[in-house]
Structure 1
Amino acid sequence: MNNDIIKGKWKQISGKVQQKWGRLTDDDMKIAEGTRDYLSGKIQERYGIAKDAAEEQIRDFERLL
């Protein structure tokens, strides 16, 4: 799923994102607004994982949408 689609559906999927990554705050979600790079960075920060691992988790999540 590309960034344009994510941004267009952000309000619909942001709840699912927070279910998957519960450590992300409401403020994180507002700032992210579908920006994959920001989301990846916050997942890395909150969960202490590498960039590649965060990107892989996001790709896996997108496949489920």
Structure 2
Amino acid sequence: MNKDQVQGKAKEVAGKVQQKAGEMVDSKEQQVKGAAKQIDGTAQKSYGDAKEALKDR
């Protein structure tokens, strides 16, 4: 596991929390920011996964 995988997963989780909090307080802005953070985290995690796959070759 590398830092991109860990940081990416952390961003995904933080984004989900932010999105749910936005839903609870009825803030579309926070919901969108949370969704964007999830996408950013997913991309970073995928990059880390690719680096690991190449390292294992």
| TM-score, structure 1 as length reference | 0.31
Q: Which has the larger radius of gyration?
A: 2
Tell which has more relative contact order, 1 or 2 (C-alpha 8 A, sep 6+): 2
Structure in which a larger fraction of residues adopt helix:
2
| TM-score, structure 2 as length reference | 0.34
